[in-house]
Structure 1
Amino acid sequence: MDAQLIAFTGVAAGMVVMPGADFTVVVRNALASRRAGVACAVGVAAGLVVHTALAVAGVAAVLTAVPALFKALQVAGGAYVLYLAFRALLSAARARTASGEPVVRGGGLREGFLTNALNPKASITFLSVLPQFVPDGSPAMPRTLLLAAIVVAFALLWFPVVALLVDRLGGRLRRPPVARAIEAGTGAALGALGVVLLLEPLVPLVA
């Protein structure tokens, strides 16, 4: 029995299910429609493929070695999350359709992918975590590829489940007052996350 692999499975599950921007955008898209929610979930998983591939290839080390590049990506990620926050708050302020359903929109796949892929901290996290679960003397590449596949598999399971669960409860969640409250809440949460992402690289420059 591979104890390290079992331990990593628990770590990977914890990293994936931890609430954050990914979870928030999946919920928001699932409120629009099941299709948008699942597409967003797949987009998040695709973003994780990028990060795990960077970690396996060692490219993520470049982000650590070149602080300016890392900060630039942080700013880009923060700006995009703020853009999503603005869209959520704007949607909350708009009137709903006559049927009481939220206005259907697309772009879930793109939102999920960009929200995850533009977070450079994910690459650094995987770069620091994956090597801890490579046994001494084992070939690094096959092992890290396996670990990366586990992370992506969890994402492909977890986020679609979240989307489908939100859609299942959609009758209640899509009632105009509830939908507006959720849109406003997700907008506020994304706004806070975006501000943190922007301030972290910029504050040292101001100081």
Structure 2
Amino acid sequence: MDAQLIAFTGVAAGMVAMPGADFTVVVRNALVSRRAGVACALGVAGGLLLHTALAVAGVAAVLAAVPALFRTLQLLGGAYVLYLGVRTLDGLRRQRDREHPAVSGGTLSGEDVAGGPGDGSRPLRQGFVTNALNPKAPITFLSLLPQFVPAGSPAMPRTLVLALIVVAVALVWFPAVALLVDRLGRWLRRPRAARAVEAVTGSALTVLGLVLLLEPLRA
């Protein structure tokens, strides 16, 4: 691996590990079960794969050139993240009203987050949609990837390698987060801890959703 690829790997790791909606939704699902957390993590990685593919194909340039389309995608992404946050807080309120923990002494329920026993599609979909509806990602990649293409080198093969590095980092980081949360699950799913974590993740998603919604409206 040459120096530029090593440097890009570090930059990609920093971008992927940066706390945000992806991290929060993975933690939220991991509190339900290891399977839900890992499925959500794979969904996030799938969203990153979509973004990097778009960047390599140059589609991200269209988003940059058409502000209305970019703002529409921002609004859709913000609305979805806000929906997840409000749903989390509403689930916490309903759990408190019932005073009946649904998951191993905690307050998160598999039905609310993962879609019920054996249903791995909902957390996978949540992870994918949360990441895929972030229109800033493909533009970020479009502006970042060319900086790591050596002068005179074929652009397409190099950008494909860079895109695969991003996806590989995501495939390591987000499942690791899910497994760590699951490992700490016995403590995190205690009624008081579970309510606190759910309140924090729900509030974080709600705030992130509002920020994403307000940003294009103020532009």
Please confirm whether the aligned pair reaches a TM-score higher than 0.5, indicating the same fold: yes
Shift in Å at residue 98 of structure 1?
Answer: 8.2
Question: Within the alignment, does 1:195 sit opposite 2:210 as a pair?
Answer: yes
Q: 1:179 to 1:98 in 2, by over 3 A?
A: closer
Question: Within the alignment, does 1:104 sit opposite 2:119 as a pair?
Answer: no
Give TM-score scaled by structure 1 length: 0.96
Q: Distance in 2 between matches of 1:164 and 1:141?
A: 35
Give TM-score scaled by structure 2 length: 0.91
> Corresponding residue for 1:32?
32
- 3-state SS in 1 of match to 2:110: coil
CA contact (8 A) 1:47 1:112 kept: yes
Q: Which residues in structure 2 correspond to 1:132-171 (within 5 Å)? A: 132-171=147-186
Deviations 1:41-96 (A, max 9, x none): 00000000010000000000000000000000000000000000011101221322
Q: Which residues in structure 2 correspond to 1:1-207 (within 5 Å)? A: 2-95=2-95, 96-97=101-102, 99-101=104-106, 102-105=108-111, 106=114, 107-204=122-219
Q: Distance in 1 between matches of 2:129 and 2:94?
A: 25
Identity within the alignment, %: 75
Deviations 1:71-127 (A, max 9, x none): 000000000000000111012213223851432132110100000000000011000
> Unmatched 5+ residue regions in structure 2?
96-100, 115-121
Q: 1:180 to 1:71 in 2, by over 3 A?
A: same
> Corresponding residue for 2:98?
none
CA contact (8 A) 1:92 1:181 kept: no
RMSD, aligned CA: 1.1
> Unmatched 5+ residue regions in structure 1?
none
* 4+ aligned runs moved over 4 Å, structure 1: none
Q: Distance in 2 between matches of 1:98 and 1:169?
A: 14
Q: Distance in 1 between matches of 2:12 and 2:207?
A: 25
Aligned residues: 204
Q: 1:52 to 1:62 in 2, by over 3 A?
A: same
